[in-house]
Amino acid sequence: MSRLGIFVDRKTLSNAEQLTALIHCRDVAEAMGHNAEFLFPVDINKIPKMDALFIRARTDPKNITYVAARMAEFHGIPVIDDANSIQVCGDKINMYSHLIKKNVALPGTVFLQKTDLTVEKVTGLFDKLGAPLILKEPSTSFSQRVEKVSDIAEFFRVARRFSRMSDRIVVQQFVESKYDWRVGVLNGKLLYACKYTIPSVTFKIQASVNGHIVYCGVESMPESAVPPHVVQLGIDAARAIGTGLYGVDIKNNNGDACVIEVNDNPSLESGEDACYPQIYEQIIGHLFAAA
């Protein structure tokens, strides 16, 4: 019997929705004839004994999930997410560079070094991209260290804070919308699609407002309800990164779609899969097909 390792951590199990999704994943794997086992960071030495590895903890090139992915690859074990995808998606400049190289549609995007933080340069960015602008610290995840700035003073206040964490920052044109499309892609093919409705009190899918975390609304959408060019853009963006599992965030303002970012290790516990009940069968099948 083939063994599937599902790599998790305490935070993965921090709410009922995540736990329910993980149990469902395990049950699906076992119904497919595999033995599924949850692996915590302390169990990392068990990875070589697995036949496939599915990472369901927060991925980051600087944490143990990257070590887990590399260990699996060293032993020839198929893994989602692969180490390269974790590296690329964990650095927004690396990710956007991959998308730009493949001519994937983006909002106006500029990378700034610390030496570029001059009044003349910033004034030129507002003239070119308009106001407000979006600033991102490259290692951001879950909408952290992503801020909207409306004038030069605000720009410098945020940029100087971000530049203490990174040598470069991302500046993007602001694209207004009430929701984002999330296009899930596995091995270059559509896996699922949903709408993330942006809370009225913020411009992000997740934000801290008055000391409370607010989350986007999630609505699973059948493929027939998604504009075809949005699906294709999501597939193109995912293929620019690799052949793994990705969640591509897209804004489609008046039919002019652009990619906001590509996420490895996308969320699957908030109802994204409601219209796609075979998600875990497809993911597990893909992993073992590569074994």
- For 10-41, give one letter per residue: b (16+ CB within 10 A) or e: eebeeeeebeebbeebbebbeeeebebbbbee
- Are both 247 and 258 inside the same structural domain? yes
- Are both 230 and 184 inside the same structural domain? yes
- Are both 211 and 161 inside the same structural domain? no
- Are both 98 and 184 inside the same structural domain? yes
Residues 241-280 pLDDT 10s: 999 999 999 999 878 899 999 999 998 988 889 999 999 9
Structure tokens given for 86:
């974790």
- Give the domain CATH number at 97: 3.30.470.20
Please check whether residue 17 lies inside any domain of the structure.
Answer: yes
Please check whether residue 218 lies inside any domain of the structure.
Answer: yes
Total domain count for the chain? Answer: 3
- Are both 68 and 94 inside the same structural domain? no
User: Cα angle vertex 18, ends 15, 19, to 5°?
Assistant: 85
Please check whether residue 289 lies inside any domain of the structure.
Answer: no
Please check whether residue 99 lies inside any domain of the structure.
Answer: yes
Please check whether residue 282 lies inside any domain of the structure.
Answer: no
User: pTM score, two decimals?
Assistant: 0.93
Q: Hey, is 137 helix, strand or coil?
A: coil
pLDDT at 214: 55
For 2, phi then psi, to 5°, come to: -70, 150
Q: Whole-angstrom Cα distance, residue 55 to residue 41?
A: 11
For 124, the domain range is 109-173
pLDDT at 203: 60
- Give the domain CATH number at 160: 3.30.1490.20
Please check whether residue 151 lies inside any domain of the structure.
Answer: yes
Residue 236 confidence class, pLDDT cut points 50, 70, 90: very high
Computed over every residue of the chain, the mean pLDDT equals 92
- Are both 187 and 256 inside the same structural domain? yes
- Are both 123 and 57 inside the same structural domain? no
Please check whether residue 184 lies inside any domain of the structure.
Answer: yes
Q: Whole-angstrom Cα distance, residue 214 to residue 157?
A: 24
- Give the domain CATH number at 62: 3.40.50.1980
Residue 23 confidence class, pLDDT cut points 50, 70, 90: very high
Q: Any long-range contacts for 91-97 (C-beta under 8 Å, 24+ apart)?
A: 91/61, 91/138, 91/139, 92/136, 92/137, 92/138, 92/139, 92/140, 92/170, 92/261, 93/138, 93/168, 93/170, 94/138, 95/241, 95/261, 95/262, 96/170
